[in-house]
Amino acid sequence: MKVIVTRKQMEAEAIASFELAAVDGAHLPPFSAGSHVDVRLPGGITRQYSLCNSPDETHRYLIAVLRDPQSRGGSLAMHDAVSEGSELEIGEPRNLFPLAHEAKRTVLLAGGIGITPVLCMAERLAQIGAPFELHYCSRSIEKTAFVQRIRSSSFSQNAHFYFDAGPETERFRAEKVLSGYSSGDHLYVCGPGGFMDFILASAKEHGWDETSLHREYFAAAPTAKEDDGSFEVQVSSTGMVLNVPADRSIVDVLSDAGIAVPVSCEQGICGTCVTRVIEGVPDHRDMFLTDAEHARNDQFTPCCSRACTPRLVLDL
């Protein structure tokens, strides 16, 4: 879809929001809380951004982007090369981080820019009257987006802010938030990788069941390893066998052979490329599948994962 940036606004230090509308003014496809869109950026790269406006709105999508000089270029392109009036190409909203509406209680945890899908979830839960709490961690109030929107919301009494750079009393304490798990509770976390790993590990320590933990990563650490070797993949429908050299991904090799596996993030976070494995053991390098799904070894993400066995037979 072609969209136009109708508004660009700073929401906090280094965080800008972008309001997107259809170029022809048409209604935009619907979405649900937790959804994201793929945005094709100037320079040809594609990035995923969570939608953080109300799903009841059909005239606009709202995304927010942290300007991160360490990133691989997506956030800099959004901040520096996109302005009001810019036209962008985006994909239809997809939801890989949906709310479990049957939850008895929902705990929402956001780290920094991870607030974007989480805020949409909080507003949805407030709208349907579901019990929830929002815990929002950031470095300082200056770096915290959407403070006013949260403080003036109907759920402000359920929202808690924590600031790492503040005094001890303002910092997040996992045991306070994560103890008291009972069956039917669900936890959603989004933010930087280290924050999410800490929250998920703490939740497990406090007895949260793996199936009640939901996560959405923004960016993955590089997955290539120095001792990566070559291996083979076999396409089960045709029997074709391809060699995957140490320096290439499985999707690239398949693509060269005319077999297109749909991809989006190409770094193991979105799940678009998940493919069934019929034989062989994958070397999982994604952050999309759960530990239990990894252990089953019957599916994997060929955009970044590799093989532990000499050959993988793929359901393609």
Enumerate binding residues for ligand FES (CB under 6 A).
263-266, 268-273, 286, 288, 301, 303
Question: 55, 5, 18: which is closest to 35 by C-alpha?
Answer: 55
Gap between the Cα atoms of 174 and 239, Å rounded:
51
DSSP alpha helix (H) spans, 114-182: 115-128, 147-151, 174-178
Q: How far is the CB of 46 from ligand FES (least distance, A)?
A: 10
Residue closer to ligand FES (CB basis): 56 or 247: 247
27 versus 296: smaller Cβ distance to ligand FES: 296
Closest to ligand FES by CB, 199 vs 274, is 274
Strands 213-217 and 185-191: parallel
Task: Report in angstroms how near the CB of residue 273 gets to ligand FES at its nearest.
Answer: 3
> Among all residues, whose Cβ is closest to ligand FES?
303
Q: What is the CA radius of gyration of the chain?
A: 21
Q: What is the DSSP letter of 94?
A: B
Beta bridge partners of 89: 2, 40
- DSSP symbol at 55: T
Q: How far apart are CA 200 and CA 239, in angstroms?
A: 41
Q: How far is the CB of 148 from ligand FES (least distance, A)?
A: 34
Minimum Å gap between C-beta 87 and ligand FES is 25
Cβ distance to ligand FES smaller for residue 127 or 290: 290
Q: Which two tokens stand for residue 110?
A: 């956001």
The least CB distance from residue 137 to ligand FES, in Å, is: 26
Cβ at position 198, least distance to ligand FES in Å: 22
* 117 or 268: CB nearest ligand FES: 268
Within 169-286, strands assigned E span 185-191, 213-217, 231-235, 241-244, 275-279, 282-283
Write down the least CB distance from residue 240 to ligand FES, Å: 21
Can you read off the two tokens belonging to residue 300? 């994997």
Nearest distance from residue 270's CB to ligand FES, in Å? 3
Of 216 and 266, nearer to ligand FES (C-beta) is 266
Instruction: Between 7 and 296, name the residue whose CB sits nearer to ligand FES.
Output: 296
Residue pair 164/137 in contact (Cβ under 8 Å)? The answer is yes
Nearer of residues 254 and 303 to ligand FES, judged by Cβ: 303
Question: 105 phi and psi, to 5 degrees?
Answer: -150, 140
| Rounded distance between C-alpha atoms, residue 229 and residue 140, angstroms | 44
Round to whole Å and give the CA distance between 191 and 235: 36
Q: In Å, how far are 110, 133, 167, 243, 310 from 177, measured between CA atoms?
A: 13, 9, 18, 49, 45
Place of tokens 């929902």: 106
Output 82 or 303, the one with its CB closest to ligand FES: 303
CB of 235 to ligand FES, least distance (A): 18
